[in-house]
């Protein structure tokens, strides 16, 4: 199973970059997700933001130096704290702190704890782009990476000094995603390639109108995230969706079912698991109009043609090691319809969702769903958070992969 920041102890070390304002929010977001957060600040960081702010946000005394002078006593010493934490994050991380750590210098609380910790270490650098690309910084990052430290960013953009280049601290969503990955102990999908279709497709009528459906892409996003957390290499072929795909997936964007089909055809031979969660439009307009259709009082007839059945085609093409999974959105006869689809499309598993009504699949965090394999029904249909459903699904996928490997 995967774990989230809840009930985890996280040490957030903060050094002096203007990006420190993002770390206040990072601290708040980690707390909101249930983590126990300790904040440590370098001396210079304390000139930018008062430790009192981090104390209020984290609910814990802030570590301001070797001989901390906090309003509340720090409950544990630097050595013991660095031993009990689940994750050590340095955000923002300056070139100076990275350099000291690469050299094994331990001249303040943070660098001393970095030497003492056995927890995973995640750096989110933020600095002037010239400082970042300087060979000294690059070498130090390489040294730390080789020692198993993790880095996220920096990203290209305008930095606080007004220069444009690679120096901006990673956005919080990306840092939080990386934290989830690092906190997940189950890495059973390491070395596996998972291919996912996600979101709706749009079939043009004319340059401004299209046929589509209410799929939000939430399920595809959750499916991608969980596979990434378990160590898989994930590619998502996504139709137009407001839902942002995970940063750590390879994302391929398409508009129509035909484009989705072409991308999946290319990527399928390499994958170990194919999950078709996209709500692919079943029909497209035979000849979309070149110019915008003007309103008239006449009835308008659109001639439609069936789109390729992506899932059905991959079911036909799969080899004995590949797993092909479908989703079904049904309004009635859930189990019978799903079982038929499982057979007809040669699937290893199908997830059937009830659609329509409150909290039912489209755009919701919940799904009224059942997992079915050729061996039977895994769970009676019930209203489940999509995240939980996805975890159940990957537990089953791990089981199926093991079975196929044994063949």
Residues taking part in catalysis: 161
# residues near ligand C5P by CB under 6 A: 16
The residues in 280-299 that bind ligand C5P, with binding defined as CB under 6 A, are 280, 282
Instruction: State the Cα–Cα distance between residues 3 and 188, nearest whole angstrom.
Output: 14
How many C-beta atoms surround the C-beta of residue 350 within 10 A? 25
Q: How far is the CB of 383 from ligand C5P (least distance, A)?
A: 20
Q: Per CB under 6 A, does 38 bind ligand C5P?
A: no
User: In whole angstroms, what is the distance from residue 231 CA to residue 241 CA?
Assistant: 25
Identify residues 309-368 at the interface with ligand C5P (CB under 6 A): 309-311, 326-328, 341
Please report how close the Cβ of residue 303 comes to ligand C5P at its closest, in angstroms.
Answer: 18
Pairing mode of beta strands 283-285, 304-306: antiparallel
Cβ(205)–Cβ(211) below 8 Å: yes
For ligand C5P, what does the binding mask look like between residues 236 and 265, x meaning CB under 6 A?
---------------------x--------
- End-to-end, the C-alpha distance of the chain in Å comes to 25
Q: Max Cα separation, the chain?
A: 83
Per-residue DSSP letter, 167: E
Per CB under 6 A, the segment of 10-18, 164-172, 244-252, 276-284 that binds ligand C5P is 276-284
The residues facing 204 across adjacent strands are: 210
Distance of alpha carbon 206 from alpha carbon 208, whole angstroms: 6
CB of 73 to ligand C5P, least distance (A): 56
The interface region with ligand C5P, picked from 64-72, 306-314, 366-374, 375-383 by CB under 6 A, is 306-314
CB of 190 to ligand C5P, least distance (A): 26
Question: What count of other Cβ atoms lies within 10 Å of the Cβ of residue 47?
Answer: 10
The residues of the shown chain that bind ligand C5P, judged by CB under 6 A, are 197, 257, 276-278, 280, 282, 307-311, 326-328, 341
């Amino acid at each position: 199973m995967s774990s989230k920041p809840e009930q985890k102890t996280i040490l957030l070390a903060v050094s002096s970059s203007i990006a420190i304002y993002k770390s206040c929010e990072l601290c708040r977001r980690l707390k909101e997700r249930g983590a126990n957060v300790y904040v440590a600040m370098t001396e210079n960081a304390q000139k930018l933001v008062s430790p009192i702010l981090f104390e209020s946000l984290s609910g814990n005394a802030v570590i301001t130096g070797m001989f901390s002078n906090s309003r509340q006593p720090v409950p544990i010493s630097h050595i013991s704290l660095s031993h009990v934490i689940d994750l050590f994050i340095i955000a923002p991380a300056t070139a100076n702190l990275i350099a000291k750590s690469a050299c094994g210098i331990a001249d303040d609380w943070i660098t001393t704890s970095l030497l003492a910790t056995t927890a995973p270490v995640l750096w989110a650098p933020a600095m002037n782009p010239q400082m970042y690309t300087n060979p000294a910084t690059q070498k130090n990052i390489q040294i730390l990476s080789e020692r198993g430290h993790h880095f996220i960013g920096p990203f290209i953009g305008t930095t606080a000094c007004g220069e444009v280049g690679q120096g901006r601290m990673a956005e919080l969503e990306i840092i939080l995603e990386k934290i989830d990955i690092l906190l997940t102990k189950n890495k059973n999908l390491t070395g596996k390639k998972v291919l996912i279709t996600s979101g709706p497709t749009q079939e043009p009528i004319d340059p401004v109108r299209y046929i589509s459906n209410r799929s939000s892409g939430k399920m595809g996003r959750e499916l991608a995230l969980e596979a990434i957390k378990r160590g898989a290499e994930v590619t998502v072929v996504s139709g137009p969706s407001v839902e942002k795909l995970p940063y750590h997936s390879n994302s391929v964007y398409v508009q129509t079912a035909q484009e989705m089909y072409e991308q999946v055809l290319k990527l399928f031979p390499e994958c170990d698991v194919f999950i078709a969660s996209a709500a692919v439009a079943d029909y497209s307009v035979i000849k979309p109009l070149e110019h915008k259709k003007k309103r008239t009082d006449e009835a308008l007839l659109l001639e439609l043609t069936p789109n390729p059945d992506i899932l059905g085609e991959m079911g036909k093409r799969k080899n004995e090691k590949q797993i092909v999974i479908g989703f079904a959105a049904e309004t009635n006869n859930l189990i019978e319809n799903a079982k038929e689809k499982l057979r007809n499309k040669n699937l290893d598993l199908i997830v059937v969702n009830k659609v329509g009504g409150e909290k039912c699949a489209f755009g919701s965090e919940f799904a009224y769903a059942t997992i079915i394999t050729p061996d039977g029904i895994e769970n009676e249909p019930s209203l489940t958070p999509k995240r939980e459903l996805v975890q159940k699904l990957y537990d089953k996928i791990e089981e199926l992969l093991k079975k196929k490997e044994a063949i």
